[in-house]
Every structure is written in structure tokens, then in C-alpha cells.
Amino acid sequence: MTLTEKLRERISRAFYNHGLLCASYPIPIILFTGLCILACCYPLLKLPLPGTGPVEYSTPVKDYSPPSPDVSLQQGDLSERPDWYVGAPVAYIQQIFVKATVSPWQKNFLAVDVFRSPLSRVFQLVEEIRNHALRDSSGVKSLEEVCLQVTDLLPGLKKLRNLLPEHGCLLLSPGNFWQNDRERFNADPDIIKTIHQHEPKTLQTSATLKDLLFGLPGKYSGVNLYNRKRVVSYTVTLGLQRYDSRFLSSLRSRLKLLHPSPNCTLREENIVHVHFKEEIGIAELIPLVTTYIILFAYIYFSTRKIDMVKSKWGLALAAVVTVLSSLLMSVGLCTLFGLTPTLNGGEIFPYLVVVIGLENVLVLTKSVVSTPVDLEVKLRIAQGLSNESWSIMKNMATELGIILIGYFTLVPAIQEFCLFAVVGLVSDFFLQMFFFTTVLSIDIRRMELADLNKRLPAEACMPPAKPVSRSQRYERQPAMRPATPHTITLQPSSFRNLRLPKRLRVIYFFARTRLAQRLIMAGTVIWIGILVYTDPAGLRTYLTSQVTEQSPLGEAGLPPMPVPGGVLPAGDPKIDLSVFPSDPIQLSENQTQQREQKSGLESLTEVTWGPEDEEIWRKLSFRHWPSLFSYYNITLAKRYISILPAIPVTLYLNPQEALEVRHPQEANRYHPFLAPNSGKLGAEAQPDQASSKLQGHQDVTLYKVAALGLASGIILVLLLFCLYRVFCPKNYGQNGPSHSRRKRGDLPCDDYGYSPPETEIVPLVLRGHLMDIECLASDGMLLVSCCLVGQIRVWDAQTGDCLTVIPKPRLRRDSSGIFDYQESWDHSPDGKNGLDDSFENSHQLKRMLSPPQPLLFCDQPDLTSLIDTNFSERAKVAESETRLRAVGSRQKETGYDFSSLVGKAYEEHGTSSNCGNFTGLSAPHGRSLGDESFTSSPLPAWGGDLESSVWSLDLQGNLIVAGRSNGKLEVWDAIEGTLRSSNDEGQSGITALVFLNNRIVAARLNGSLDFFSLETHTSLNHLQFRGAPSRSSIPSSPVFSSSDVVVCQLTHTVSCAHQKPITALKAAAGRLVTGSQDHTLRVFRLEDSCCLFTLQGHSGAITAVYIDQTMVLASGGQDGAICLWDVLTGSKVSHMYAHRGDVTSLTCTTSCVISSGLDDVISIWDRSSGIKLYSIQQVGSEAAARERLRRLLGFSGPH
């Protein structure tokens, strides 16, 4: 036990120190981690990329013999030999590469003549090949014996039945288009149409029939109408079953003999073996995709729990990066130590991520975020880390244990998985500790900075509010609520906005999540990814050919062209290019002209062979061979084919031949040039026009698809835009949704609990007052209430005990003296104590919970005054901040309930009462009846003989300040119930009070403001501090010991602060804000009572005002509007129509404004955008009834 404890403490301390380190040097540590990741991932470069691309292996032609099928029998250097190179290949591929041209070219030839006669020679060539036989000593060997015999095509390919050989040798040539029948070819009026009739209509990336039969990419064939090179290329592809070197070499030499290629430099040394991997079919893909979907759902649900940070997205990204790079590191490290992964990386990856998990990262974030915000960032990180150290270590040990158990299953696959997982876990831990913690510290610091920026002005004019040290926090736990991050926790539920119709909610959901946009985006990305991934070769060749064709410098500017040279034999291309560098049509025209001048009617074309003709099959799509063989139901998956060096064949055709094979219809269609000069341009143009139509089979499909895609994209965007405009509110925008979502993502740990603990809170009932409560003040520790008869009670907010009762002054009504019921208030002039209660805590907790009730002296309902608080609950839940916040929000609700409760109780009797003549007494700023008369000076009528009622209260430390209706200001000791000081310099009743530090501001009925300062005659040595001595430099609100002499001195008076009675008064951050019935707000400086701003914007009397440390001012008026102001500049930030009827109270958090109104609605607004986030309809109509009653009686509450 003790060992565990010791270990625990040690771990905790280590984590604490580590946290300090990380937060102190974030940048170096992140750099260090990045270097580590890169270093560990370096071995990954050696790994082959996962994919289905074919793998090649070359062996020399000389002495080639098929590898033996038995692995163990293989001799020689096995290291170079890939493991798939075993046994005979599926087939040997022999290509006979033909280049043909009509030479010399006569200029009155048609465009079709470029390829018609060269193509016609293929029949002859095929015959030659077919009939080739090797005669030697062992007899006659014909092609039939060595070639790959194919049988039926797949049943689904009826269309191709006539085009692909169905029986006998696998011999493919362009002649297959005409069933290897010369007559058919000659009778064919439109060759290009025949060739293209089987091209797919849509963009397809796999091999097409044209590619299959031509044996080389369509771009290189030269069979089109604007082939300016006039060289046609095609191949005759031969599939061989067995490798017979003598037969093949005899074929080669015979063909070379028949069709010599004098300048051919093709190398013929190597046989290339191409191994095809297993194709991933849909069936295999579906489980894979499912696991990935689950993985993404997991990541999504995990990262959405990150909250209370500056950038949610940043941290989520960091979390994902942490996990991913730990996996990469794990693979890299394993590779480094000699373990090569044999598992399919794509398949096990999601499971690895799930095993490693994001939990630790989330726990860390949560722990750090829940540390007290007023600590230094370093300390927060360190504390958060050390809080969770034990559980992190425990979890990691458990996981390692489980994985180690898995390692001993002795199944190789599982062992490998476990190995990766273990290394991944360790590296993940490393990254969490170094990378994520540091990122988190940066994030927290950014948040802190943002807060600081907001708070700076406040601190500039204020005695700086300092971080409260720890010892003292424990001392005053309940009051110690961190001021800044007030966040309202709302029940996350899809049923919150109960009044929205379903239709709208669906649309809102779409709009909020931008679902459609995201889906489209993801779809596009996936589509592009699939395109790029599945056929990189095809796409790339396609693109390069597109570029070269369309580029004006295409022919000369890009030397590695399929058929370079031999193109412009007669003219001088350099001169042409220098003269007309950018116009291909002019260029060709010019060439022809030059050619014409030089060689009259003819131009010679020479076929050249260059390095680019080497292994022309490489330019084919890598699906070429698999798809060819799949037509015959032969799979190449996990097998290989051997591609023999191509046999070059060069064909020169003379013009006569070209003319002979010309089809009569072609001569008509492609009109021959009549006049050499004038017709030339037309002839050039005409084939171009024709080609633009016919050649389109290749290009137009792409353009069509692109245009369609573009159009549909535009339409979709427009549609979405319209939807957006129609369905989204005008000010829907930047901040609202993200805030609301953050609210929803703010899930406290008990969010999913079966029994939410909040519902068990029972309000504390404070009984003691005999009359209605007039006013109420609290600082979290104490609660002061005053009932209509003037009795002031002080309650302990935690226990609900009544600590002090200050009796009604009525008992001593006849005594003219004011202080006579206080015996010994001025006896012992003593020192004062500093109370540490930082006022930002107290002023936020303090709420005027009860709406004041009319004073009715006669026919008073026999009420037991009820004050409900639930402050005591706070002690229970103070340890968890999230709960604290939850209680904070509940506190508000119960407060409201309480007021309605009292109101209801009152209502039963109020209607029967007829005490309208007392209204003026208790309604210092009544608005309906006799308003003006009261404001002028209502008080002299009653003088001082009537006992005065308490109109306002405030509490700080152990002092209660009470403002009376006769203008008297009294300072009471809360604990002892003695009057400490009094000031009756004012005549007009005090409607509102603020007590801050040692300053008291009283607002009077006549609209004037009095600034008092509370001075203690400190004597000698009674200076004590309840907090740590180190904080002595920090000014804090005083606690006055009972022996002090407290003098309340009027320092300033603003005689005419407002034209009408002041109804709301708040102070914070060195500013005092008054709201009045004259529809204006004023901002004063506390020190010198200088009026800084007059804020106009309400169209009714101000009823509620809120200001806090961050200098944000919110005000609500009788017009039901809420205005947010910037106190620094005095400008209105936003204006919201909040309620039908008065705004009764108002408070703010960092992101929200919460208001309640007479319409029984509590609304929560987004502070920055002014959008209503939620509204809570109070059930019941008490408030409405109360409002009616009030109007009837001409009352209105002070707030």
C-alpha cells in the first residue's frame, strides 16, 4: 500500500516537473519532437508504397530460362530475385512494333492517306507472322505450337466477339478491327469510326479496345486526321505459351529481313517480368471501408469532447497527429530493427489506431483545462499532468499487459500486430508527453493572452486584481469561483428548442453542420483520389499528351516525343519556329510552303527510332495486360508475365500504294485540293474541321465530362446558396453556430449518467421573515435580507442558519436620535483587517434574487417569509468545476422560481388589499401612478417621523450597507448586528447601492449619485491579514473588526446624474454604471465620480445593468431590449430584442448573456453575435399575473 502510494507520488512529481518543462520551452520541445518523428519515420522511405501497381524484374534475354517452380531449387543470387519470380509466367508477350509512313508524301494527298495505306499493310504482316515456321533438324515448328492458345471470351463480352481472337493464338493487331480481312478494310469507308466505335463514352481509365489492338497508347498511334508527322505506329501483339528462343530469334530475324529498320537502336537485351498484385475488389473493399468509417466516427466522437480550449480544431488535429505519427514511428522503428511488415498496412491500421486510442490525450486535456484558470500556464499544465499521471500510467501498463498476452498467442500475424501496437503505444506515450502537452500549453497560453487583452483596460484603472493564492482558496472555498471562464452548461439534447417545428430543425441541422457542402467536398476528394490512385499511368500519359498537343511549341519544344525527328525533314524547323513561334496552324502552313518551294510536290518522310520507342508497353495503362487476359478469364493477380523485347518493323509505302487503297467515298468526303495555291489552305482547314468532329472520341468525352461536372457543380453551389439564403436567418454566421456547438460539446462527465446529480438538489429554505422580502444581498458566504418591516437578517449561505437579526427601527420610532439604539459603536478605534475577498468574486455572486414586493402595511398576508437558496449545495460540488458551473446556472433558475413563489404567495392577498396610498413608500421609482410627483421630492411629506424602510442593501466582508427610504445610509456589522456608521446627508431615498472595496455609491430617488468612502480609524497594531502575508501588497476589500471606528464620509456628489430616478446601479473594473428611468445609462469613474459616457439606445427605462471585469456592459430596459456596450469607447456593440415586457435581470458569462423578462422567458444569447441560443419558457403564469397586479397598483420593482 505504502509502496503504491510512494510510487504514485513519485510519478505525480515526475509528471509535474515534466509539465513545467514542456510549458516553459514549448518551441524547442516541439522542434525536438518533430525531429524525432522524422528520424523514426526515415526507414519508411525504404518500404514500398502500398498499392496494386505491378512490380517489374528484368533478366537478360541471353541464357534465359523460365524459373523453376520450386523455390528451394532456385540457384544463383536469390537476393536480387523477387520472391514472386517462381515458375513459368502466365504468358510471354512478343510485340512487333510497326512504324509506317507514306513516302514521299504528295501534297495533294488527303489526311486519311496518312494512315490508310500503312494500316492496310498490317494484314500482310500478320499473315507473315502467322505463317512463320522454324525448320530445323527436329522438324517444323510453327507459331501455333508456341503461342498462347485462347478459348472463349467471357460470356459478358459479346460485343468484342468479332474483334478479339476467340480460338487459336492470342494475336492482336489493328487488323482485328476488320476481322483480319483485307477486303473488309478496303470496303470500310471510315476507318476512324471503325476504330473508335468501341471507345467508351465516359472517361475511363482502364485499357480500351483501341489500346489493346494497337498495343500502344492511342496517342502514339498516329491514326488521326491531323497527324502532321505522317508516321503511323502500331504493334502486333503475340501471346506465347512457351519460350522458344530459336523460334523467336528466327521470327525476329525474318521480320527484320523483310522490313529492315536501318536506324533502329532499340535494345533487345532484357526480358521484363511484370508481376501483378492481387486486385482489390469491391468485396474486399467494403469491410475495409467500414473499418475506416468506424475509425473516423471514433476519432470524431473522441475529439468533439475536447473543450474549453482556444482552438478546438487545433487540438483535435494535434491529437490525431499524435496518434498517426506514433503509428508511423512504430512502423519505422520496427523496420529499423529488421522487422519487415508483412501484414496489409491498410487493413490493420484502423485497429492499431483503435488500440492505441485517443483517450489519454482527452484525459490530459480535460485535466489541464479543469485546473484553476488563475494559475500560471506552466503551473496549470504541470498540475493537470500530475493529476492524471497515475491513471495514465495505470492504463498504459494495462494495455501493455494485454498486448503482451496477445504476443504469446504465437500466431505470427497477431504477434506482428502486437509488436506494432506495443511500439506504437510507447511512441504514442512519448508523443503525448512531449508533443501534445506542449501544444496544449501553447493553446492555453493563447487563451490566457486573449483573456488578458480583454482584461487589460480594467486592470489599468483598477487596483490590480491578483491571482488568489492557494491557501486562501481553501479557506474560502465556496466564494472562490474563478471569475473569467464562466460557461453555461446546458443539457445537450436535440430536443432543447422544443418549439421549433421538425422541418425547420432538419434544415437548421443541415445548415448548421453544412452537411451537404461537406458531403460534396468529401465526395469530390474521394473521387479525385480514386482517379489518381487507380490509374496514375493512364492519367499521366493522357495529361502529358494533352499538354504536348496543345502546346504551341509542342513539337519542337518537348524533345522526348513519341515520334520526334523525321517530322520536318525538308523545311528548317528552327527558322519556322523563330518566325512563328506560337501559331501551330501558321506554322504548318508555312512548313508546307517551304516544303513546296524546296521539293515541289513531294516531301520525304523518314521513320526514326529513338530511345522513347524503347519498351513502348510501359506507356500503356498498367491495367492493360490484366484486362486483356481477363477477357479470356485468365487472372494475372499474384502472377506475372514476361515481356520480350519488341521487334521493330519499318514500312515505307510509296504514294502509288496509298492511292490504290484509297476508298472512293473518302475521296469525295475529304475533298482533294484543286488549285495548288488557293486550295491548300482549304485543304488544311477541312481535315481540321473534320478532325474536330471525329477525333473527338478521345477528347470530347473528357471535355464533356468536365463541362458537365463544372455545370453541375455551379448549379449545386447556386442551389445551396439559395437554400442558405432562404433558410438561414440574416445574422446567422460566424460565431453563433460554433458557439452553440461548443456548448453542446461541453459535456461534463456526468452528462451521460443515468441519474444527473443536479436533479437531487433541494433548495434550502430560510425561514424567519414575517413580511415580504424587500431586498437581498449576498457574497456567497453571507446572505442579507431585509423584509418590508425593515428587519434585516443575516444568514449563513451554506447552512441556512440565521446569524444575526437587526431589529426593526420601528421599535424606536419616537426617539429622535438616530444612533440611540446603538450602544457602543464608537468605543474602540481599532485597526482594520484586510479581507481577501477579491471583489470580482463577490460581485458576480451577488444577485438580487427577489423582485421586491409592494409594501403593504394593512391587510398584510400572514406570510412566513421564505428565502430559498441553494448555496449550500455548492459546498458539495465545489470540487468539480463543471458541476460548479451547472449549479451556477441552476442557481439562477431556482432564484427565479423563488421569486415567482413569493410572488404567488403574495398575489393571493395582494389583490384584496387596498393599500394604494402606500405605494410611494415602497416603490421608489414607480412608473405608472404619480410618477412625477415622487421623483420631485416625495420624502418631505413623511419626514423622519415615519420609520423609514430599507430600499437597498449591499454586503461586503462583514459589513452591510443599507440605504433607506429617507436617504440615510447605514453601515451595519453583519455578525454582531451593530450599527457601525451612518450618514444622513442626503434627503432623497436611496434606491440603489454599490459597495466596492471601501467605496460606497448610493443612487438616490432624485437622480443624484453620492460617493462615500468608508474610512476606518486604524490604530496601532491591529493590522491583520487573513491570507498569506505575501499578498500584503495587494489591495483587498477590508474586513473591519468590531473594534474599528468606521466613518462613512461623503466624498463626491453628482447632483444631477440623471433626470429621473436611478433604477440600476452596478460597479466593476473601476467603473460605475447607472441606469435610469430617463432611458439612458451613464458610466462614471469610481475614483473621481467623473462621468465618462452617456449611453443612449434604449427606448424605455433601464431595468437591469450588468458590468464585469472585462469591461463589458449589458443593459436591459422596459422596452424588452438588451444592449451590449463597450465601456472603453462608449459604443453600442449589439442590440437585441429580447423580451416582450421588461427585462428583469441580466447577467453575462464570457460567451453568453442570460436574461430574464416579464414574459416568463429566460433567454441565453450569444454574446458576440447577439443570436439567441436558447430560451427557457417558465411554466405557469405567476409572473404575468404579478405584472398585471403591479400595473394595477402602479408598482415596479427596483430591478
Min separation Cβ 871 and another protein, Å: 21
Neighbours of 66 (CB within 10 A): 15
Min separation Cβ 646 and another protein, Å: 39
Phi, then psi, of 1010 in degrees rounded to 5: -115, 130
Considering only residues 55, 354, 400, 915, which one is a binding residue for another protein as defined by CB under 8 A? 354
The nearer residue to another protein, 139 or 281, going by C-beta atoms, is: 281
Task: Count CA within 13 A, CB hemisphere, residue 1119.
Answer: 17
By CB under 8 A, residue 506 contacts another protein: no
Side chain identity at 860, as an amino acid letter? Q
Min separation Cβ 779 and another protein, Å: 29
Min separation Cβ 904 and another protein, Å: 17
By CB under 8 A, residue 411 contacts another protein: yes
Quick one: which segment of 54-62, 69-77, 166-174, 408-416 binds another protein (CB under 8 A)?
408-416
> Using CB under 8 A, which residues numbered 1136 to 1195 contact another protein?
1179
Q: What grid cell was written down for 749?
A: 462527465
Distance CA 1134, CA 1132 (A): 6
SS3 643: strand
> Using CB under 8 A, which residues numbered 594 to 633 contact another protein?
none
Quick one: which segment of 165-173, 236-244, 350-358, 996-1004 binds another protein (CB under 8 A)?
350-358
Q: What grid cell was written down for 705?
A: 465530362
The nearer residue to another protein, 506 or 601, going by C-beta atoms, is: 506
Phi, then psi, of 526 in degrees rounded to 5: -65, -40
Q: Are 102 and 118 in contact (CB under 8 A)?
A: yes
* Secondary structure element (H or E) that encloses residue 686, with its range: helix 678-694
Q: Are 621 and 206 in contact (CB under 8 A)?
A: yes
Distance CA 783, CA 846 (A): 9
The nearer residue to another protein, 296 or 721, going by C-beta atoms, is: 296
* Burial of 619 per CB tally in 10 Å (0-12, 13-18, 19+): buried
Distance CA 353, CA 364 (A): 18
Side chain identity at 1022, as an amino acid letter? H
Min separation Cβ 74 and another protein, Å: 24
| Listed residue (896, 998, 1001, 917) closest to 952, CA to CA | 1001
> Using CB under 8 A, which residues numbered 248 to 287 contact another protein?
283-284, 286-287
Q: Are 85 and 79 in contact (CB under 8 A)?
A: no
Min separation Cβ 633 and another protein, Å: 17
Considering only residues 413, 547, 558, 714, which one is a binding residue for another protein as defined by CB under 8 A? 413
By CB under 8 A, residue 753 contacts another protein: yes
Considering only residues 262, 501, 817, 1029, which one is a binding residue for another protein as defined by CB under 8 A? 501
Q: Are 861 and 906 in contact (CB under 8 A)?
A: yes
Helix axes 359-369 and 312-336, enclosed angle (nearest 10): 140
Binding to another protein by CB under 8 A, coded x per residue (else -) over 280-319, reads ---xx-xx--xx--xx-xx--xx--x--------------
The nearer residue to another protein, 116 or 892, going by C-beta atoms, is: 892
> Using CB under 8 A, which residues numbered 466 to 495 contact another protein?
491, 493, 495
Considering only residues 25, 64, 351, 580, which one is a binding residue for another protein as defined by CB under 8 A? 351
Distance CA 341, CA 749 (A): 40
Side chain identity at 487, as an amino acid letter? T
Could you tell me whether strands 149-150 and 270-275 are parallel, antiparallel, or unpaired per DSSP bridges?
unpaired
Min separation Cβ 503 and another protein, Å: 9
Neighbours of 154 (CB within 10 A): 11
By CB under 8 A, residue 504 contacts another protein: no
Considering only residues 87, 357, 573, 1100, which one is a binding residue for another protein as defined by CB under 8 A? 357
Considering only residues 350, 790, 910, 924, which one is a binding residue for another protein as defined by CB under 8 A? 350
Cα-Cα-Cα-Cα dihedral sign, residues 539, 541, 543, 546: negative
Name 1029's Cβ contacts closer than 8 Å, sequence gap at least 6.
none
The nearer residue to another protein, 305 or 680, going by C-beta atoms, is: 305
Q: Are 273 and 642 in contact (CB under 8 A)?
A: yes
Tally the residues of the chain. 1199
The nearer residue to another protein, 277 or 704, going by C-beta atoms, is: 277
Considering only residues 414, 667, 728, 1050, which one is a binding residue for another protein as defined by CB under 8 A? 414
Considering only residues 755, 914, 917, 1021, which one is a binding residue for another protein as defined by CB under 8 A? 755
Neighbours of 233 (CB within 10 A): 24
The nearer residue to another protein, 755 or 917, going by C-beta atoms, is: 755
Helix axes 696-727 and 515-534, enclosed angle (nearest 10): 160
The nearer residue to another protein, 305 or 310, going by C-beta atoms, is: 305
Cα-Cα-Cα-Cα dihedral sign, residues 448, 454, 460, 464: negative
The nearer residue to another protein, 350 or 538, going by C-beta atoms, is: 350
Min separation Cβ 413 and another protein, Å: 4
Min separation Cβ 3 and another protein, Å: 25
Q: Are 1063 and 1199 in contact (CB under 8 A)?
A: yes
Min separation Cβ 506 and another protein, Å: 11
Considering only residues 58, 179, 204, 409, which one is a binding residue for another protein as defined by CB under 8 A? 409
Considering only residues 62, 167, 201, 502, which one is a binding residue for another protein as defined by CB under 8 A? 502
By CB under 8 A, residue 681 contacts another protein: no
Binding site for another protein (CB under 8 A): 283-284, 286-287, 290-291, 294-295, 297-298, 301-302, 305, 347, 350-351, 354, 357-358, 402, 405-406, 409-414, 491, 493, 495-496, 498-499, 501-502, 752-756, 759, 1179
